[in-house]
């Protein structure tokens, strides 16, 4: 459950409910122009790069100016009601663009498209096409139909589609970091979550195509890749089950686990950093942790969503682990990778029937783990989920907000404490570009995924040793040392 972020430096509720958003543009190719907006999780941003690649083959370039677009696409998130309302507000804005510019094709992609299907065409009259996450190969055909006046929809969920053969167009790229999707869908039926219904069943991508994509990125100058999946630890590929893509020099019974894949990507080059997201507490293994320890270029940072610190609530959420199991996985991370390994989380306040004592269990779990950062939400019932069907959303909104505020305050406390531990230490930092606050400063991240800001002018993609002398809750401040 990623994408709706409560920033540790912000406390206003409106900001706590904000949705990640990005206008994607390259503006380097094609006569026809595509304008695409992405909302929600990293998977959506990765999907937008696949969509752009598909339309590039049809002669489309991209633009960051919506008024210049021939096709407007909005890649949507359904994880909360406010996320969907944000999309509807944007569609209302696009209505004005279409009224002014005439022949503009407007499409809705992603999770909201999959959830609402043909209702979107009925409710939002300006929408010309609706495509779910597994139907993007149909986009050129549906765009052509829309240009001829025929609305189109494809929300078929596939058990095979991974888009493994499509080289994504890297939108809004800093030229240093990139996403690689390693799997699609989710088999975990968490009761609060729409993802299994909007992204379908879990399937893993051919490992050789993943390694090739990582190698190509490195050769293009990228120095960090993030392996993406709803649950990367359940990645599993075998030649016998995927006869369309065989492992090189292997027998058909060989199984590639996530730990194996991590090692394969780490071996591409020692200067290529490897990250991954997201891990599920029930599936992350000691083998993965030992692989991370073995390779310096596998970053020491794990996003391990807890959602709650209480075992009864976790059972209602259908998370398939309890408080003790989660704490045991945290202990394993600390024992194998050390105290400096970054651990981040997701937390939900006010899930169905959560008592005040159970909320305190979440706060005490935060005391135990001492997260570096968390994505924090109050519970938002989503139509069609198991929780919506089985449980009453019975926690008053003001109680949800108060509990969320307490979680945010607790996280701010530990974000500062964890960063203060780094003052006086020197880290290997990958330079990503200019600081967001000053052109006289650069920024990058260390292995634990912490942003480090420092003076100077250095090439993007270079590695520097930076000694930290100060920090805030979200940033380390340092100076370059020999």
Residue 13 has pLDDT above 50, yes or no: no
pLDDT at 26 over 80: no
pTM above 0.85, yes or no: yes
The span from the CA of 406 to the CA of 191, in Å, is 24
Q: What pLDDT is stored for residue 18 in this prediction?
A: 36
Has domain 177-418 been given CATH number 3.80.30.20? Answer: yes
Model pLDDT for residues 413-451, shown as the tens digit of each residue: 999 999 999 999 999 999 999 998 888 999 999 999 999
Would the pLDDT of 65 be above 70?
A: yes
Q: What does the pLDDT read at residue 25?
A: 57
| Secondary structure of the chain in HEC code, one letter for each residue | CCCECCCCCCCCHHHHCCECEEEECCCCCCCEEEEEEEECCHHHHHHHHHHHHHHHCCCEEECCCHHHCCEEEEEECCCCHHHHHHHHHHHHHHHHHHHHHCCCEEEEEEHHHHHHCHHHHHHCCCCCEEECCCCHHHHHHHHHHHHCCCCEEECCCCCCCCCCCCCCCCCCCCCCEEEEECEECCCCCCCCCCHHHHHCCCEECCHHHHHHHHHHHHHCCCCEEEEECCCHHHCEEECCCCCCCCCCCCCCCCEEEHHHHHHHHHCCCCCCEEEEECCCCCCCCHHHHHHHHHCCCECCEEECCCECCCHHHHHHCCCCCCHHHHHHHHHHHHHHHCCCCEEEEEEEECCCCCCHHHHHHHHHHHHHHCCCEEEEEECCCCCCCHHHHHCCCCCCHHHHHHHHHHHHHHHHHHHHHHHHCCCCCEEEEEEEEECCCCCCEEEEECCCCCEEEEECCCCCCCEEEEEEEEECCCEEEEEEEC
Decide if pLDDT at 385 tops 90: yes
Residue burial 170-209, b: 16+ Cβ < 10 Å; e: rest: bbeeeebbbbbbbbbbbebebbbbbbbbbbbebbbbbbbb
Interatomic CA distance for residues 7 and 87, integer angstroms: 21
pLDDT band at 78 (very low <50, low <70, confident <90, very high): confident
What is the predicted pLDDT for the residue at 396? 98
User: Does residue 351 register a pLDDT over 70?
Assistant: yes
Task: Give me the CATH code for the 426-481 domain, please.
Answer: 2.40.50.140
What is the reported pLDDT for 245? 47
pLDDT band for position 20 (cuts 50, 70, 90):
low
Is residue 221 scored above 80 in pLDDT? yes
Q: What is the pLDDT of residue 21?
A: 55
More confident residue, 306 or 243: 306
141 pLDDT higher than 70:
yes
Domain layout of the chain by residue ranges: 13-154, 177-418, 426-481
For 13-154, CATH gives 3.40.50.12160
Beta bridge partners of 468: 478
pLDDT of residue 103: 85
CA distance 171 to 63: 11
Judge whether 232 and 278 are in contact, CB under 8 Å. Answer: yes
């Amino acid at each position: 459950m990623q994408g709706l972020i409560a920033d540790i430096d912000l406390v206003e509720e409106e900001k706590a409910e904000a949705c990640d958003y990005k206008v994607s543009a390259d503006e380097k190719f094609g006569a026809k122009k595509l304008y695409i907006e992405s909302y929600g999780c990293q998977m959506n941003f990765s999907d937008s790069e696949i969509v752009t690649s598909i339309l590039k083959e049809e002669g489309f370039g991209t633009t960051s100016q919506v008024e210049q677009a021939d096709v407007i696409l909005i890649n949507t998130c359904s994880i909360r009601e406010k996320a969907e309302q944000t999309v509807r507000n944007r569609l209302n804005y696009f209505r004005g663009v279409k009224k002014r510019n005439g022949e503009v094709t407007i499409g809705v992609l992603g999770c909201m498209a999959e959830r609402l299907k043909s209702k979107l065409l009925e409710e939002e009259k300006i929408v010309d096409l609706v495509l779910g996450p597994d139907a993007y190969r149909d986009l050129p055909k549906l765009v052509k139909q829309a240009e001829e006046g025929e609305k189109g929809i494809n929300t078929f969920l596939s058990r095979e589609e991974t888009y493994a053969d499509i080289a994504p167009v890297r939108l809004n790229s800093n030229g240093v970091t990139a996403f690689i999707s390693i799997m699609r869908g989710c088999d975990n039926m968490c009761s609060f979550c729409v993802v299994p219904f909007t992204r379908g069943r879990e399937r893993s991508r051919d490992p050789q195509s993943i390694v090739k994509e990582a190698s190509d990125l490195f050769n293009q100058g990228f120095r960090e890749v993030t392996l993406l999946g709803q649950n990367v630890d359940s990645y599993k590929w075998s030649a016998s089950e995927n006869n369309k893509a065989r492992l090189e020099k292997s027998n058909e019974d060989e199984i590639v686990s996530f730990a194996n894949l991590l090692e394969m990507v780490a071996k591409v080059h020692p200067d290529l950093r490897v990250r991954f997201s997201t891990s599920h507490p029930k599936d992350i293994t000691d083998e993965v942790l030992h692989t991370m320890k073995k390779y310096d270029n596998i970053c020491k940072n794990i996003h391990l969503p807890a959602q709650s610190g209480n075992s009864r609530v976790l059972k209602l959420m259908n998370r398939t682990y309890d408080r003790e199991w989660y704490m045991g996985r945290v202990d394993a991370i600390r024992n194998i990778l050390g105290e400096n390994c970054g651990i981040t989380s997701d937390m939900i306040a006010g899930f169905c029937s959560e008592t005040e004592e159970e909320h305190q269990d979440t706060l005490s779990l935060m005391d135990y783990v001492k997260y570096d950062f968390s994505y924090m939400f109050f519970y938002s019932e989503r139509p069609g989920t198991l929780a919506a069907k089985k449980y009453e959303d019975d926690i008053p909104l003001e109680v949800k907000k108060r509990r969320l505020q307490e979680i945010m305050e607790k996280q701010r406390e530990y974000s500062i404490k964890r960063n203060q531990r780094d003052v006086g230490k020197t880290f290997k930092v990958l330079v990503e570009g200019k600081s967001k606050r000053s052109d006289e400063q650069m920024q990058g991240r260390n292995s634990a995924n912490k942003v480090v800001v420092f003076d100077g002018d250095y090439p993007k993609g270079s590695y520097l040793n930076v000694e930290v002398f100060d920090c805030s809750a979200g940033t380390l401040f340092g100076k370059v040392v020999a």
